[in-house]
């Protein structure tokens, strides 16, 4: 509920000179970007958590990728760390807590001013200023810091990053190749957003993000395949997300055949209304959807996928690029799974239009 709805003189706009009103669209754009960024991060964590629960865990004394000693943490838990306790870091933490949902004990925030995060401490979230400790603990690390702070943070944490730790960067000023050099790390995701001049007025400026993502119109506008809302996402993020899921399974030494089965089941869940009307066309991923046909032919059933360089995936064409462009079945299932993961089921009339060619760049 907007407490200022009928109190015009207390609204932000009332203090703006008339000649500056044409800049007010920046409020909606900023809020729209925040909502969209939190929505995609939440969806990724939901997928990773669900995949973590579905794949069998191999209990070995050492991880073949990281060389770390036997795990002491809960094998089914998804540990998420946030570096940066500013506006974005706080909004992301609230969204992950409420909408994934991530238990408080599985979320940590590292910031130079942990004393400003009392609301999160009261919920049981560890808030401190120990970046190296956070990245050594987390499965996923969200970078929500300022661009000027990032180089020093990267120097600090690069030696503590395990190869299977996923770094998700919201620092828009630092491109993927530069992040790779700064972190000496390849398991990096970085969404890239563009705003159209005719930005839709659906985003608002005062609506809570968790409430906004329960609004069907706003949620559909955040969908990577939807052109609505005026905020577009480079679809290479979607490729990177899938290869990040594969890397997660490779780190656990899961045979690639099992990984493909679990991913196919995830996107063909019977509880999705979309699947009930499309039983004749089940979604089934193949190894050649992610690797070359020659590599797939020589990949034995019990071998895991290789560890993919996510920075390369987000910069170059991959086998999955063609799959995303050509599979309308996947695009339809993805839209329904995306909305369903936020508790919203689309009717036929609500389904957004999907581009038949290569998705938005």
What are 49-91's pLDDT values in tens digits?
Answer: 988 887 765 544 334 444 433 344 445 689 999 999 999 999 9
Question: What residue spans define the domains of the chain?
Answer: 24-53+76-346
Coil/strand/helix, residue 127:
strand
CA-to-CA distance for 335 and 206, rounded, in angstroms? Answer: 27
| Confidence (pLDDT) at 13 | 54
Q: How many residues does the chain have?
A: 361
Task: Give this prediction's pTM.
Answer: 0.85
What's the CATH code, domain 24-53+76-346?
Answer: 3.40.50.720
| Confidence (pLDDT) at 197 | 76
CA-to-CA distance for 190 and 209, rounded, in angstroms? Answer: 20
User: What one-character DSSP code corresponds to residue 141?
Assistant: E
| Confidence (pLDDT) at 163 | 87
Helical residues (DSSP H) of 166-314, grouped into ranges: 176-183, 209-212, 216-222, 236-251, 256-266, 273-276, 293-297, 310-313
User: What one-character DSSP code corresponds to residue 126?
Assistant: E
pLDDT along the chain (361 residues), means of 10: 55 53 61 93 94 67 40 66 96 96 96 94 96 96 96 95 94 94 96 83 79 91 85 92 95 93 79 49 86 94 94 95 85 89 73 47 44
Tell me which long-range contacts 22-29 makes (C-beta under 8 A, separation of at least 24). Answer: 25/199, 27/205, 28/199, 28/201, 28/203, 28/204, 28/205, 29/195, 29/199, 29/203, 29/231
| Confidence (pLDDT) at 73 | 47
């Amino acid at each position: 509920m907007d407490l200022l709805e009928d109190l015009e003189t207390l609204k932000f706009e009332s203090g703006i000179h008339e000649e500056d009103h044409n800049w007010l669209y920046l409020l909606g754009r900023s809020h729209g970007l925040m909502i969209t960024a939190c929505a995609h991060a939440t969806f990724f964590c939901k997928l990773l958590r669900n995949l973590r629960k579905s794949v069998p865990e191999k209990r070995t004394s050492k991880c073949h990728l990281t060389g770390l000693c036997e795990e002491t943490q809960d094998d089914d838990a998804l540990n998420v760390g946030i570096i940066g306790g500013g506006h974005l870091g706080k909004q992301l933490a609230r969204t992950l807590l409420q909408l994934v949902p991530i238990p408080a004990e599985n979320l940590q925030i590292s910031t130079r001013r942990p004393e400003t995060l009392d609301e999160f401490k009261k919920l049981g979230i560890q808030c401190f200023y120990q970046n190296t400790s956070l990245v050594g603990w987390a499965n996923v690390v969200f970078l929500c810091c300022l661009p000027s702070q990032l180089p020093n943070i990267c120097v600090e944490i690069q030696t503590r990053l395990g190869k299977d730790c996923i770094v998700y960067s919201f620092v828009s000023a630092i491109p993927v190749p530069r992040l790779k050099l700064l972190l000496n790390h390849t398991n990096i995701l970085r969404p890239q957003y563009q705003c159209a001049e005719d930005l839709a007025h659906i985003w608002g400026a005062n609506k809570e993000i968790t409430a906004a993502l329960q609004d069907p119109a706003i949620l559909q506008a955040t969908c990577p395949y939807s052109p609505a809302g005026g905020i577009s996402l480079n679809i290479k993020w979607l490729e990177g997300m899938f290869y990040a899921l594969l890397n997660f399974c490779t780190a656990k030494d899961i045979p690639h055949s099992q990984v493909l089965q679990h991913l196919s089941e995830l996107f063909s869940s019977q509880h999705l209304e979309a699947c009930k009307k499309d039983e004749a066309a089940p979604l089934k991923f193949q190894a050649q959807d992610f690797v070359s046909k020659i590599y797939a032919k020589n990949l034995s059933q019990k071998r895991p996928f290789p560890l993919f360089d996510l920075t390369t995936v987000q910069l170059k064409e991959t086998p999955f690029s063609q799959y995303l462009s050509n599979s309308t079945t996947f695009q339809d299932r993805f839209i329904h799974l995306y909305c369903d993961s936020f508790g919203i089921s689309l009717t036929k009339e609500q389904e957004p239009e999907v581009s038949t060619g290569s998705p938005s760049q």
